[in-house]
Structure 1
């Protein structure tokens, strides 16, 4: 894995309530394809991108965005960079090493209920066709 060329800051969106110092690790079920166990932990340098991921995450909890720091090497997320947005304008990354939570971020843009429903519909279509790589 080669080091991505981004200094951050980095963010992770989830419905889990986390504390400073917690570690986010790979090895959990995907929020978007629950039949898949993820080999990587995903993050972005765009706080609103993490917010969207938090709002779409599985579970009933409130969405949270956390500032995180990678504890090891990371790379551009090939599911978005190579397949959807060459050059990584989404500033999406992944790592097999944990992410350390630095704190919660509250100044991210919430989606409207209509926009969230459009995203959910896209994800459902992707799952039905076997291409739910819109978001990891």
Structure 2
């Protein structure tokens, strides 16, 4: 698998209601640019980072954070690493291989309504900026 980037544990945020053993795969629409179908599944070593992704995910279901295990090789997420944040302070990763769901995590910090709206406003500005692209 090459160089170990992070020992984890790892987390994935979504609005999907899943159970241990489920596999999370690439091939779904981006939460940040819905017109883009993603070639990778994204995850982080920070449970609150996964919580943010869960809060921003499409749909009306409650946000959920899951502890996951990569089933194959993974890399630093190029959408945040070096391009926006030197190094990888967000401990964000992606893989073209599935993630195995281990357990739901409930002790992550929820955003306030004001914080969530600020993030939604930022995403709307990014979507409106045609130069802002996702490295897929």
Q: Map Cα deviations across residues 59-98 of structure 1 (whole Å, 9 max, x no partner).
A: 0100000000000000000110021111100000000000
**TM superposition shift of 1:31:** 1.3
The CA distance in 2 between the partners of 1:81 and 1:27, in whole Å, is 22
Q: Secondary structure at the match of 1:6?
A: coil
- Could you tell me the TM-score, scaled by structure 2's length? 0.94
| Structure 2: 5+ residue stretches without partners | none
2:94 equivalent in structure 1: 94
Which consecutive segments of 4 or more residues in structure 1 shift more than 3 A? 1-4
The CA distance in 1 between the partners of 2:95 and 2:2, in whole Å, is 10
CA contact (8 A) 1:32 1:132 kept: no
| Structure 1: 5+ residue stretches without partners | none
**TM superposition shift of 1:106:** 0.1
Change (3 A) 1:63 1:73: same
2:31 equivalent in structure 1: 31
**TM superposition shift of 1:2:** 5.4
2:74 equivalent in structure 1: 74
- Could you tell me the TM-score, scaled by structure 1's length? 0.94
Alignment root-mean-square deviation, CA:
1.5
